Structure 1
Amino acid sequence: MTLSGIIAYPITPFTNDGRDIDFHTLGKTIELLIDNGSDAIAPLGSTGESAYLSQDEWRQVAKFSVEKVAKRVPVVVGISELTTQLATEKAMFAESIDADVIMVIPVSYWKLSDQEIQSYYRTIAESTTLPIMIYNNPATSGVDMAPELIVTMFKEIPNVTMVKESSGDIQRMHKIFELTSGQLPFFNGCNPLALEALCAGASGWCTAAPNLIGALPKQLYESVINKELSVARNLFYRQLPLLRFIVSGGLPKMVKAGLALNGIDAGSPRKPLLEANEDEIKALEILLSNI
């Protein structure tokens, strides 16, 4: 499985009391992302509030998403678990529902050694034939994987085939490219770095932005691919204020607030996350209108 382009992240919509998943709205937002030119759909990431779902809810969202997409584009199912056992169970379930890729991020209370991280990925890989995207996001996971470790796992674990780098350090992407002579596909997971990462050779951009600004992220990707750098710069700076704002404010609440402004009620984030306040909504409305 070779991925490229825009890997889009749907939210997980809840009913107004936050108790149940609103699958009708989830389906509507998945259709929106596909209509906006997304090259893959990635449910159960940070934007999808995966960490706030029960095991049964996670399975329901994964299965619904795969069925809704119906092979029109690849589905990349997010897995983030403290224990290797639970992560492995999710990997096996993702394969059983015919997902295309799993994106795996270790989450840690105790600081994990490189050996423990490698063991985590190796055990998951042995449980499935699905391609694995390593996901490095130290801000949310508490685990920071150096490029050298990521490259070692790429070389030693056969179905580790790509990486999403979200540390916010463009030098890590350069290092991954250098260490593998460009053989390890890397994806940008830091929205404000989109232009730099794509110009540095990223295979794509993992982002929730298409929920709010339609095809603009895809247009940015295509302009870089087509070497239309002046067009790419204009597209990027047009999006940048919004990209910064939704990241700093928290993706689940900001994307849900933006969807509401665009006429799609996806409910509130699940507590303890709070919904956007009046000032945040007003600022978001201005940013969207400017775009």
Structure 2
Amino acid sequence: MNELHGAGVALVTPFNAEGSIDFEALAQLIELQINEGMNYLVSLGTTGEVATLSKEERKRIWDFTAKQVNGRIPLVAGIGGNNTAEVVDQILEFDNSSYCAILSVSPYYSKPTQEGVYQHYKAVAEASKLPIILYNVPGRTGSNMTAETTIRLAEDFQNIVAIKEASANFAQFSAILRDKPQHFLLISGDDPATLPMMAMGAVGVISVVGNAYPAKVVSLTKYCAHHDYVSARKVHSELLEITDLCFVEGNPCGVKYILQQMGIGQDYVRLPLVPVGAKVQGAIDQEMERIR
């Protein structure tokens, strides 16, 4: 899965004022990513507010994204949830002809046991014709997928090829890298952790801040891949504050405001999210000016 090396971005879903999907802004965003060298795109990861989208809207976004990209860079589809049967049905119905993998978040809210997590992904792997990227993000799901469960899945299912790790647990990252099958990839799921994770052996990042600063995220992963950590630290440090501001009032609220200031769509989000407030807007404006 060389397609998953380097910089990937979890695309936001732009909306119009009345709540409909802003496909013009989505096209602008996709072109920005491709023009600035992003290695691959994730369509409808959790950053894409997928939980607020209908089945029909998800299909339209996947189809539109595939048509806009037109084979120029690899595409990953986000298909996950805490209803295993529904996730399996979505995978079976998904038109995978333009996509190279599926990113599937660990079940949220339910707080399943490790055996429950394993059985969930077993069902997902058996249903999918595409490779699967596991996604562990305990701060959002309410439960952690342990290194032991990750390795068990990687060993038992050849089409489980990677994990997007956002647990902030470096002992867990180390255990995965130590025990994983050779084919299995560790990917950063947290922008500020990309540099240290790649220094340990991760192959790249699926980024949020990359929506707005794709060239910088791409350069960070390239520096890390070439073990140029002096240059990597400069980019890492430059993006730290703006990345924090992307999340301080909910994701993707912050990065949508940044994109609005760049002339790509508006900062509309769907409830229960709301746009960032004036204080955060001011802080973002200052950081954007500094980064320029």
TM bin (shorter chain): over 0.9
* Residue 10 (structure 1) aligns with: 11
* Residue 118 (structure 1) aligns with: 118
For 2:153, what is the secondary structure of its paired residue?
helix
**1:95 Cα offset (Å):** 4.3
**1:98 Cα offset (Å):** 3.0
Deviations 1:168-219 (Å, cap 9, x if unpaired)?
1222211100112654211001111121111111111110222222301111
After superposition, the Cα gap between the structure-2 partners of 1:183 and 1:130, relative to the gap in structure 1 and judged at 3 Å, is closer
For 1:205, what is the secondary structure of its paired residue?
strand
Aligned mates of 1:214, 1:185 — CA distance in 2: 22
Contact kept in structure 2, 1:66 and 1:97, CA below 8 Å: no
* Residue 35 (structure 2) aligns with: 35
**1:97 Cα offset (Å):** 4.4
Aligned mates of 2:5, 2:237 — CA distance in 1: 22
Aligned mates of 2:101, 2:208 — CA distance in 1: 18
Aligned mates of 1:96, 1:229 — CA distance in 2: 37
**1:248 Cα offset (Å):** 2.7
* Residue 177 (structure 2) aligns with: 177
Identity %: 27
For 1:92, what is the secondary structure of its paired residue?
helix
* Residue 268 (structure 1) aligns with: 268
For 1:251, what is the secondary structure of its paired residue?
coil
Letter in 2 for 1:184: F
For 2:79, what is the secondary structure of its paired residue?
strand
Question: Mind listing any 5+ residue stretches in structure 2 that lack a counterpart?
Answer: none
User: Does the alignment pair 1:156 with 2:163?
Assistant: no
Contact kept in structure 1, 2:22 and 2:265, CA below 8 Å: no
Contact kept in structure 1, 2:71 and 2:98, CA below 8 Å: no
For 1:116, what is the secondary structure of its paired residue?
helix
After superposition, the Cα gap between the structure-2 partners of 1:89 and 1:287, relative to the gap in structure 1 and judged at 3 Å, is same
Deviations 1:224-256 (Å, cap 9, x if unpaired)?
112221111111111111112212332211111
Contact kept in structure 2, 1:36 and 1:210, CA below 8 Å: no
Aligned length, in residue pairs:
290
* Residue 59 (structure 1) aligns with: 59
Contact kept in structure 2, 1:6 and 1:207, CA below 8 Å: yes
For 1:81, what is the secondary structure of its paired residue?
coil
TM-score, normalisation: structure 1: 0.94
* Residue 209 (structure 1) aligns with: 209
Aligned mates of 2:215, 2:263 — CA distance in 1: 17
Letter in 1 for 2:249: G
User: Does the alignment pair 1:281 with 2:263?
Assistant: no
Letter in 2 for 1:244: D
Letter in 2 for 1:33: Q
* Residue 130 (structure 2) aligns with: 130
Contact kept in structure 2, 1:14 and 1:268, CA below 8 Å: yes
After superposition, the Cα gap between the structure-2 partners of 1:108 and 1:219, relative to the gap in structure 1 and judged at 3 Å, is closer
Aligned mates of 2:103, 2:13 — CA distance in 1: 17
Aligned mates of 1:119, 1:255 — CA distance in 2: 34
Contact kept in structure 1, 2:15 and 2:268, CA below 8 Å: yes
Matches for 1:226-245 after TM superposition, within 5 Å: 226-245=226-245
Matches for 1:253-264 after TM superposition, within 5 Å: 253-264=253-264
